[in-house]
Each structure stands twice: as structure tokens, then as C-alpha cells.
Amino acid sequence: MLSMKKARWLAAAAVVALAACATQGAARSDAAPVSASAAAAAPSKPSAPAFVAAAEAELEALAEEAGRADWMRQTNITYDTNWIAARANARITERASALAKEAAAYDTAGLDPVVARKLELMKRGLTLPAPARAGAAQQMADIATKMEETYATGSFDLAGNKIDLEEASKQMATSRDPARLAQLWQGWHSISPPMRADYAQLVSLANEGAKELGYADTGALWRSKYDMPADAFAAETDRLWSQVEPLYKQVHCYTRQRLNARYGDAVQAKTGPIRADLLGNMWAQQWGNIYDIVAPRGATQGVDLTQRLVANRYDATKMVRTGEGFFSSLGFAPLPETFWQRSMITRPQGRDVVCHASAWNIDNREDIRIKMCTQVNGEDFQTVHHELGHNYYQRAYKDQSFIFKDGANDGFHEAIGDMVALSITPEYLRQIGLVRTVPDASADTALLLRMALDKVAFMPFGLLVDKWRWQVYSGQATPETYNAAWWKLRTQYQGIAPPGGARPADAFDPGAKYHVPANVPYMRYFLSHILQFQFYRAACQQAGWTGPLHRCSIYGDKAVGAKFDAMLKMGQSRPWPEALEAFTGQREIDASAVADYFKPLQGWLEEQNRGQTCGW
């Protein structure tokens, strides 16, 4: 799930995660691109404050243009909407890249701290910087648009039927036929090999642009975005993984033994990696869809949220209205009427769209929207809360200056809605009338296991996607070894393996995951899966909750909402440790809240795994 802060630049043309471009003239949405060489030939260099002011003015205009173009493309994929969006994104990529280089030329020593921070954010705000040479930005935009179209319109033939990702995902979630699951997995992964050459070319161009900015490669640029040196951030991700890895290995060990009991040694061995297609999700990133296989013997899940939504006659719009109600209960203003008029809440008929859920702020003020192909089920009920978290964050910082209109770091943006989704507890469901009574503590093991199958199982995948891309950008992984490097990391961190053994020589399995062809950095999701528990624990402490952490709901607590809103309003104006401290009292990301939340489950898993050979 994504936040489209100022349009889908980072996905279509790999432009800015927030900040990026400016001219020294008037701000116009139809301004012609200005080359870096032309900027360098200007008679005099403006002062740093003047340069930043011009940057923000132009960026605001270009952002809205690119946002509207990309919204049209994602909600109606045609040759013409692709053409329009690619050119809008090329314009902003070219300007962003050129002006990032100009920002880097300013000495920030002695400058006003606000101006200095904006210059730094402009320099590192690019996702895939374009080289300065003429035509490079358009080339990058065309490649990126082509890859994302390949993904969005991808399908494969299975027994005479055309299967797209939406249908394949539905079947993978429900089928318990290992032969069928292998066919679905292999079918979807057949759509990505044509992307490999384009992806390699895009990597080469981005690295050229990153080096012009003074970075070793694009991966180093990405790692520089976290208010610490790039190498320090890489070490930080390893530290955080070390905090959650023991719990993940217990979940993996338990899940593997239950899959073995279901399918037998010929399908899933008692030891070694888990077969990737058996976990209920195309990328084995969340395992909740196989809860029926791994559910504790003799235990009930407590609440079947999908069943309760259907029984209470929820439709997609009512699900979104309910998500809005949660934020209203914390004291946030209702969503604007334009949200309901302009959002894509369900999949439209008769046209191709990008169904991947995302939240948008088209004008960086009040034109907030979501884009989802919402279905009435428990998973999408949680996704609605997540996407609205992006929207309320966007709205909270709308009065910041343009370059500060973003999350404290990208992990914050993803964690906000998920923190609220953690409050979708049985108590919350009772408060909104979806259940009459709250299950007693006997259902807690099942509840926590179901949560761990989604939250804990995701963490290694959230970590490894960008670890793979760091290897790609550094040249450690070459086009010929892209796939081998991908599976080495997936086995190392997730303990999974592809069905059918060795992959074909032309396979490009990373391209079968949306965020790779869409060029969306992924470490944010790993960080968010830790931050959301840290935020949640802090919110429950502020609410005075003294029971088990997993049973807490902050629904209706306006005092918590006010403190939460104060952090959100900071946007990116201060380094993220300050924003974190403002709400949690801590300046370091801390995965101990994950351990606190799942503490009852950890002991239960260790008991279930006694005598098993865990690990792979």
C-alpha cells in the first residue's frame, strides 16, 4: 500500500519521494524543462533562500500536473493516458534531477536551519535521478511506464482461461491443491521476464544520475534518506531484524510443520525452506490466508471479520465510512466531500486500472483520495484503515511548506494507518456494532497467531526487497544474476523456495512484485511494521490501558488523537527521531514493542515447536 504524496512520481518516473525541483523564474505548470547546463550558465547564483523558495513554487505546480496525469493513467490505462503521464513525469524528473544537483552545490554551513534542511531534502529526495544529458529523463519515464503497464495488464493462460493477478490471488488464497497453486504461481511469474532488459537499462540510467549527485550508486542515495549516513542506516536495518528474527523463526517452524502435516513430505518437507506457493499469497509475504491449515487445534479464531462484515451488509463504501469514523473518534475532521466524489473505491467495469491500493493527495492540500478495488472482507477492511492513515497524515501536514509535506520518514507514512489497524480488536468491533460480545482470553492465541501470519511473516520480505535492489544498484547483482540473487536473499531471510525447483534461465521473479517495476522503495514497509507497534504501544500507554497489549483499542480517545495529530503535523520539517520522540518519548526505532505484543504467542510457539528442527 502506498502514499501518493504529490502524485505517483516515484513509481512512474522515479522522481521524488517528496521534494525536488525548482526554477529561478515564475512557477508555471506548463514551464519548459530547463537543462542543468542552462541553469549553470545563469548570470548569477541566487541566494539559498531564494533558490529554495523558487523550488517550492515550481514543485507545487509540477506536482499537481504530474499527479492528475498519473491519476488518470492508473484509473484508466490506455495508450493516451500512458503517453500523457510519461511526459508529465519526464518533465518533473528532468527538473528534479537538475535542481537536486543545484541544491547540492550550496554550502549549508551557517544557513538558516530550515533552508539547510530543505536543500538536503531536495538533494536526497529523488528516487531514480535522471542524468543531466538531454533526453535521459524522457527515456527513464518511458521505460518506467512500460514496465508498470506490463505489470498492471499482465495475465497468463491456464487450462484455456485467461488469469490476471486479481484472480490468481483469489485462487491462491483459497486453493489447497498444491499442483494448482504451483501453476498459479508459475503463471504469474511468467509475465515478468520481458521486463528484465528494461529494468537493467533503468538501473544504469539511475546510477548515472546518482553519481552526478555525488552518491556511489542509487542504493546509496536511497539509504541516505533517513537522517543518518547511508552505511549507518544499513546497519540499523540489520539491528532491527535481529530483534524480530527469533519470533519469525518460531512462526516459520510452526507453519512448516503444519504444512507438512497437511500435504506430506512429497509436497512440503519437515525441514528446510517452505515452498513459496503454499503460503496463500503470491509473494509469500503474508500468510494469513492459510490460517485454516495452521490454526491451533481445538481453538477458534474468535471473530471472523469477513463473515461479520457480510452479515452486517457492509459494502465497500460503508467500509471506508467506518474507517473515517475511527479517525473522527480521535478528533480528526471528516473527509472532504471531494474525497467521496473523486476516489476509486471499487474496480470500475470496462477499463484497465491499477488495483494496487494507494492513497493520494493530488493538490497537496485538500484533494485527498484513495484508489482501491475494494472487496468486502477482513483484509480490505484493514487496508481501508491503512490507506486512510496516509490521507489523514497528508492532511495534517498540509500547512507545512511544500518540501516538508511528507512523513518524518517513509516508514512513518506506512505505519500511521497500520497503527490504527492494530486497534481493529474485538473490543473495537463491539464498539462499532460488528459483534455483540468480545471473545474471552481463550481465543487470544488464535487471534495472535492470525496477526503474526500477516505482520511477523511479512518482516523479512519487507527487508529483503531493497537489500536485493541495493545489490543491483551496486553491481553486486548483474542482469544475468538478478534472479539468483533474489532467491538467495529470499531463502536467507524468509526461508522459502520456489515451487518446481530451479527457475528458468530467463526468469525475472522480482518483476512479479509490483514495487519493483513501479520503482517504489520498499524498506519503508519493513520500518513501518516495527514503527506501528511502537506507536501503538505508546498510544495504549497514553490511553491508560493496562491489559494485554493486543486487546487495546484507542477508538474514541481524543487525548491520544490530539497528541498523535501533533506528530503528524510536523511532516518532514524535523529529523524523524524528533517526530518519534514527540509521540512515543523514544528517539530510536525499537522492535521491543513487537515482542511485547506477541509475547503470549512466543511462548506458545516455542512449546508447539519443541522437538522440531527449526531454521532452514
Residues catalogued as catalytic: 356-357, 386-387, 390, 414, 515, 525
What is the 3 state secondary structure string of 308-324?
HHHHCCCCHHHHHHHHH
**Dihedral sign, CA of 436, 440, 446, 448?**
positive
Instruction: Name the residue type at position 487.
Output: W
Rounded to the nearest 10 degrees, what angle do helices 444-474 and 523-542 cross at? 140
One-letter amino acid identity for 33? P
Q: Where are the beta strands (DSSP E) in 105-227?
A: 155-158, 161-164
Q: How many CA atoms lie within 13 A of 574 on its CB side?
A: 12
The DSSP H or E segment spanning 358 is strand 358-361
Pair type for strands 358-361 and 368-371? antiparallel
The kind and range of the H/E element at 245 are helix 230-263
> Degrees (nearest 5) of the Cα angle 206, 460, 251?
170
Contact between 198 and 143 under an 8 Å Cβ cutoff? The reply is yes
Burial letters 71-94, b for 16+ CB under 10 A, else e = bbbbbbbeeebbebbbbbbbbbbb
Give the side-chain half-sphere CA count within 13 A for 494: 29
50: how many CB neighbours lie within 10 A of its CB?
13
**Distance (Å, rounded) from C-alpha 396 to C-alpha 292?**
40
Phi, psi of 188 (to 5 degrees): -65, -40
What is the DSSP track for 167-181? HHHHHHHH---HHHH
Cell output for 74: 492508473
Q: How far apart are CA 370 and CA 52, in angstroms?
A: 30
- Interatomic CA distance for residues 31 and 26, integer angstroms: 9
CA distance 65 to 476: 37
Angstrom distance (rounded) from CA 225 to CA 129: 14
